[in-house]
Structure 1
Amino acid sequence: MTDLVELIVRRTRRLPRPGGGAGETEVVVRQFDAVLMSAGFKLSREAMEHLAGRDEGTVVDFAVRVLAAVRREVGDHVRHNTYFKDFPGGVPDTLEFWTRCLAEALLDPVVAERGITGGDGLNLLDLPSYGRYLHTYEEMLAAHDELIPSAGDRVTLLHLGGTLEEEASRLYLALAGSTVPLGEDDADALRVLASHCADGPQPEQIPVREHRAHINQVRLASGKDLLVDTVTDVLRLASVLSGGSADLEPATRLRSPSRRARRALLAALDGVVAASPAKLGDVNAHREQWKRLGERLHPHEYPCWPHAARVFAVARGEERAPSLAARVQSAMDARDVLRATRILTTAPGLLFRSLDWLVRSAASEEEAHAILEAVENTVEQVSGRVLLSLREHLDNRSASRGGHRIFITRKSRAWKGPDNRAPLDMSLALRVCEILDAEVTRRLPEVDHLVIDREIWSVALPLSGKSSPSGFGVLPRGSYSPVEGNLLRFFIYWRQREKTTDLDLSALLLNDDYTYASQLSWTHLTEVGGEHSGDITSAENGASEFIDLTLGKLQQRVIIPQVHVYSGEGFDELAESFFGFMVRDARQAGAPFEPATVRMKSDLRGHGRVALPLVFLRGQDGRWRAKWLHLFLRGGVNFNRVETTGMTTAHLVGTIVDREYLRVRHLTDLWSAKAAKVTFLGDDNDAPSAPVTFVGRERPEDLPEGSEIFDLTRLSDLIPS
């Protein structure tokens, strides 16, 4: 069962107020705070004062649950061992290391008896001392000095929230009402909270259809009416009931629902079609899934719902119901842009998603004027996420990308292809951008005092939560974040589920023009400015690998960390897998993994065999910063390594780095026009005495009571509905 305290702490950085009796536990709370600080977290002053007034048993139990949450956030819930016990010291030259492994094998009497070669010759990975830990975790820790604290170590404040029920309801309403699709972790949280909050307040709107499916699952179980207004809403619910995805990708193997669930699904379908027969056109997009669902719902047994039966007749081809997309395609095939535009005005969201296509196809001023007029007349009916996505798209269409474009799926699979699209009429595109900005500004609320942390400006707007994995310090794809410190350390951890699995951590170093310069990997353990911790080839009980890079010694300007599946289970099959990076200064010692130095940790969950979490770039000023990728490449079934994927990675990343992403600054610049007063965090301003609206990476501690906070945990809430 999911612990709600852990869920709320990890998702919001707020502490639900524990119950219990009164007491005086200041000493216990300070001990709790000290342990939190070792993991890079700290209690806010208000949280410390509240906990100090609770009884000791309550505080201790609460502390255990909070510590479990924050340690899992940064990857400190597992033991991180290294192949080379003294890493980053004691890492040998690669050839020296292989020679030593071979010599040890020759001296092993068991190996000498059976031989060290097979039918295919010598396999270095099969040598007895290779790929498995030769010392315990405790022995590795004993070889390292204590971490020397640094002013640059990360400290993340945990603020005091409301009661557990209040925080659960608050988070549920935020997730259910999100204007952007949730990632896998947040979707799981929504399912848990929807069940817990089934009898409490419900969101006024559920803008994202996938979220509605999860809530409908709970409503169905509790006998409440379903929230559906399209036939696809019903199919999404059927997919979720079968253990599949609410976005219907990939298609789920549908199960036969209970008799009560069948009746509810058919009744919902009947009501949708009876109210709007035109919605039968949506069936064509998932025709095969509808056929499978019909075999499990048995609509012929329920003549009381004749409109529901029509859905399955369309799926079987017995009734014709052309979709809106098919009608648009027919008009475009006939080169009738005016007719296509008229059809699309009945579906404003699809109109805006098709705008590039329409503008490219416009062959006269009349057609261009009709498109612009359709945009102006329907812009108020389009979601804020679609408006901002189109704005970002138009920014990139106006720039040259060397004749290439990037394709990224909702599952974060990426590839590059030629850009054969005709150029846009940029005067028309500019006018559309003005309309989009004006509409987004109109939807932003008026505020008395807007406080902005400039550090949030480089963060990309989260136009889809699906593009960001769960974890700590994870930013949306395309975001920039500064890298302060001299030592950059990557780490991965994985634990196999059934099959022996070998993941490999590598770092590809590129020149200014994205050509190959060097690398660090299990085949190249040392390089100027860097060391690899050694290759682990099995992870039954979990395994870790590290790479150190001393940034001041590097001549290259591009660093691409990669995680390869060399053999075994994929990222989406492993029991657990994650990537992260730490930053330290030159004088800090400590164990290879120190949670207080972790800047980012993200789960590795994807359908490719090569993961590209982010890229590090050195600017003209010599400073390093990270740009977030969250991408997966197909790779091979086995034996993926940097030598075989490096060129593909370099070409892909070079194009992605040049892509422009719409950032938080775009939104705060628009919002400033709706604020009576705007100030910036860190400037020499008087402390506000009345509630403010704050936009920044982390919530400051001393904002007035009643302030509205938009930090990284609420970034998607910035997107207007």
Structure 2
Amino acid sequence: MAQTLEPLVVRHTHRLPSPSGPAGSGDIAARQFDAALMSVGFKLSAGLLERLSGLSEGTVVGTAVRTLATVREIVGDHVRHNVYFVDFPANVPDTFDFWMRCIAEALADDSSRARTLDQLRGGVVDLLTLPSYGNYRHTYAEMLTAHEELIAAAGDRMTVLHLGGALDDETGALYLKLAGSATPLGEGGLRDLEILAGRCVDGPQPEAIPVRENRAVINRARLAAGADLLLDTVTDVLRLACAVSGGDVTLQEPTRFRSLPRPVRRALLAGLDSVVAAAPAKLADVTAHREAFKRLGERLHPHEYPRWPHAADVFAVARGEKEARSIDSRVEELLDRGDVTGAAMLLKSAPGKLFRSLDRLLRSAVGQDERDAVIGAVEQVAPLVSGRVALSLREHLHNRGEDSLPGKPGARRVFVNRTGRAWVTGDARPPVQPADRERLIAALDADMRRRLPDPGRLLVDPDVLDVALPLSGKATASGLGVLPRGSVSPVDGELLRFFVYWKQTERTTDYDLSALLLDARYKTITWLSYTTLTDREGEHSGDITEAPDGASEFINLRLGAARGTFIVPQVNIFSGEGFEEVEESFFGFMLRDAEQQGRPFEPRTVRMKSELRGPGRVALPLAFRRGRDGRWHAKWLHLYLKGTPSANRVEENRVSVATLLRGIVEREQLTVRYLVDLMCGGTATTVTEWDGRTVPDGPVTYIGLQRPDGLHPDSRVITPENLRDLIPG
């Protein structure tokens, strides 16, 4: 179990649980471990190095082997990254010349000559039929010999691993943090939460589990362990049934319920019965998922268990045999009658729904008296709404101001669902009245200031201030150096290199890495892809068309030579398995100085690596924008376009990508800066800008991109790995 939990802690916290073992002289092995870590862009903190040095050599070596495997996977160095053109980025040919060479080689090959001649007579040659196209022509070892060693540079990434507590303490603390998260977790986070929930089933539980998906996976682990379930609504039971059946716990997609064992059926029915018995009004929740409950009832056979009559009521409501009006239907009835004030008063009993309905209520209101009634209701219930919902409304109102008037001709709205699927539509909404907007913003700011804890002495890394708060569902992919959607981070380096890796599960699968260059008006300048291998900005590493053993593609860009304002990398699925079907797929980028040389993939130059696990056939992880000062910044997207079933290409989707990018870039997100300003407003909080060197003597609240070494042990530390902790409940 320790071998499973220790990597999990390292991934989430960049802390290594305190190694245990016999005392000894492990200092030499510890220094060797540190040197090996530095080769992949990690290093030991002073405290961790000291701890390891006092243990036996065997203990240190065992710890090093496990930890190196973990950090290599974090950065993407656990696989072999080969390239089609052996000495990429040098000597990448012109695209047309390369294709002509492939055709010539096909004509020289007895097995392909006739087929190629037939295609030439027809005027169209399918590149995929040419023997030398799309497959590695050299081994990984041969590729390595074609590249000089990487020259170390001051700008290389160095991620510090800190000394943690005992493994049980670290896993328990991480479980409470993930389970009690105020924001939804990604796919990887939910998977890890379930592992931890099974381990911590008999330990302390969080005071609250605000995110329902989290509750579902925790309950699945508790169900497997025979522990009591943590249920609050009938929908909690439905989500648990979806989890047990391997379905969608977010309830966005229908789940095909499995035939459930009798003990599971009893547990689910008992859970439904206890929830409704304690609060019969919760039967109204059934109508929102009526069809799902009807299908679940067919699997649970409630008629076989007369001792749980309240559970039977759930399915009677689902079948329409028993009435339980939902608050949504009652609100709709009032709005149909034009009673906006009555709808607002009713929604006070469901504060989250009131906040989510605010814009509609204000648009439906007739006159200032009705708008004042709606705003007054919001002010009264604001303390009862979760921090994430309150901040989401605050961000929404920020983007409903005069400077970004949605009702203007040509205005667009961008929608992003929980899985990252994005689409754009026109925006014809009338504006929110300026005075109403200002009153609401003032109320929300005052409430949020009240909720935020006193940070005491605040130490802030200025690079974190433009990181977006993770409010909108699963707005962050798992990986290294990944920031929430909408975040902006500086990009310092001469060479920007993108990479994608994928490994197919069963079917031949072809992913294509591309980069689109746009001007300030979002018009296409050029692109780099398998159809444009070289341009003045950079080079493409060559097209790989199948990945039974894994495959990689790269794009090398010289930022100083780049034309335009935006660089948009994307991963297009040309054929085969989707991002959620392949065995593994990830995207990332590296930054280098021009003289560094090195292999196509160098782990210590990797600034970001994120998993590609989403719907659609085109992935847009992030974009790069040149500012007026000439400096580049990354804008984080984490988006997926539907695309087409096959043959997705950058040339075909450049218009939709540009439209979507414009909507994201021109929308302003709430960032860490907003909460820092609230923490400091009207208080005696001392704020210090982190200079990267000086560590204060006493405890601080540190907010930054990476935890500094040497902070006081009683400090509160907020980094991207636990940014969700900054959002109040």
Q: TM-score range by the shorter chain?
A: over 0.9
- Given the alignment of the two structures, is residue 461 of structure 1 paired with residue 453 of structure 2, yes or no? no
What is the CA deviation profile of residues 16-73 of structure 1, one whole-angstrom value per residue up to 9, with x for unaligned ones? 0111100111111111111100100010000000001111111111111111111111
Report 1:210-609 matches (<5 A).
210-398=213-401, 399-400=404-405, 402-464=410-472, 466-609=474-617
- Given the alignment of the two structures, is residue 196 of structure 1 paired with residue 199 of structure 2, yes or no? yes
Letter aligned with residue 30 of structure 2 = V
Alpha-carbon separation, structure 1, partners of 2:118 and 2:393:
59
Alpha-carbon separation, structure 1, partners of 2:116 and 2:716:
70
Helix, strand or coil at the partner of 2:32: helix
User: Cα offset for 1:511?
Assistant: 1.1
User: Cα offset for 1:234?
Assistant: 0.6
Helix, strand or coil at the partner of 1:581: strand
Q: Structure 1 residues 464, 64: closer, same or farther in 2, change over 3 A?
A: farther
What is the CA deviation profile of residues 179-224 of structure 1, one whole-angstrom value per residue up to 9, with x for unaligned ones? 1111111100100000111122211211111111112122223332
Letter aligned with residue 23 of structure 1 = G
Alpha-carbon separation, structure 1, partners of 2:265 and 2:106:
64
User: Cα offset for 1:417?
Assistant: 0.5
Q: State the partner residue of 2:727.
A: 719
What is the CA deviation profile of residues 398-441 of structure 1, one whole-angstrom value per residue up to 9, with x for unaligned ones? 12354111011111111111002121112111111111111111
What is the CA deviation profile of residues 246-265 of structure 1, one whole-angstrom value per residue up to 9, with x for unaligned ones? 21221211112222221121
Alpha-carbon separation, structure 2, partners of 1:7 and 1:686:
30
Alpha-carbon separation, structure 1, partners of 2:696 and 2:394:
34
- Counterpart contact for 1:446–1:674, Cα < 8 Å: no
Letter aligned with residue 481 of structure 1 = S
Give the one of 112, 125, 128 matched to 2:128: 125
Helix, strand or coil at the partner of 1:705: coil
Helix, strand or coil at the partner of 1:393: helix
Letter aligned with residue 184 of structure 1 = E
- Given the alignment of the two structures, is residue 57 of structure 1 paired with residue 58 of structure 2, yes or no? yes
Identity across matched positions, percent: 58
Helix, strand or coil at the partner of 1:109: coil
User: Cα offset for 1:464?
Assistant: 4.1
Alpha-carbon separation, structure 2, partners of 1:13 and 1:224:
31
Q: State the partner residue of 1:84.
A: 85
Alpha-carbon separation, structure 2, partners of 1:651 and 1:232:
37
Alpha-carbon separation, structure 1, partners of 2:360 and 2:70:
47
Q: State the partner residue of 1:620.
A: 628
- Given the alignment of the two structures, is residue 151 of structure 1 paired with residue 159 of structure 2, yes or no? no
Give the one of 160, 179, 188 matched to 1:185: 188
TM-score with structure 1 setting the length: 0.98
- Identify the range of structure 1 (347-356 vs 415-424) with the bigger mean alpha-carbon deviation: 415-424
The count of aligned residue pairs is: 721
User: Cα offset for 1:699?
Assistant: 0.9
What is the CA deviation profile of residues 265-300 of structure 1, one whole-angstrom value per residue up to 9, with x for unaligned ones? 111111221222221111111111111110111111
- Counterpart contact for 1:477–1:629, Cα < 8 Å: yes
Which ranges of structure 1 fall in alignment gaps of 5 or more residues? Answer: none
- Identify the range of structure 1 (209-218 vs 186-195) with the bigger mean alpha-carbon deviation: 209-218
- Identify the range of structure 1 (13-22 vs 687-696) with the bigger mean alpha-carbon deviation: 687-696
- Counterpart contact for 1:116–1:127, Cα < 8 Å: no
User: Cα offset for 1:112?
Assistant: 2.6
Alpha-carbon separation, structure 2, partners of 1:685 and 1:43:
17
Alpha-carbon separation, structure 1, partners of 2:507 and 2:681:
57
- Identify the range of structure 1 (657-666 vs 54-63) with the bigger mean alpha-carbon deviation: 54-63
Give the one of 637, 648, 658 matched to 1:640: 648
Q: Structure 1 residues 683, 141: closer, same or farther in 2, change over 3 A?
A: closer
Alpha-carbon separation, structure 1, partners of 2:351 and 2:206:
24
User: Cα offset for 1:12?
Assistant: 0.5
Alpha-carbon separation, structure 2, partners of 1:256 and 1:93:
58
Letter aligned with residue 454 of structure 1 = P
- Counterpart contact for 1:445–1:674, Cα < 8 Å: no
Alpha-carbon separation, structure 1, partners of 2:156 and 2:645:
40
- Counterpart contact for 1:349–1:386, Cα < 8 Å: yes
Alpha-carbon separation, structure 2, partners of 1:196 and 1:117:
63
What is the CA deviation profile of residues 125-180 of structure 1, one whole-angstrom value per residue up to 9, with x for unaligned ones? 21000000000000000000000000010001110010111111110010011111
User: Cα offset for 1:334?
Assistant: 1.5
- Identify the range of structure 1 (117-126 vs 143-152) with the bigger mean alpha-carbon deviation: 117-126
Letter aligned with residue 218 of structure 2 = I
Alpha-carbon separation, structure 2, partners of 1:428 and 1:36:
55
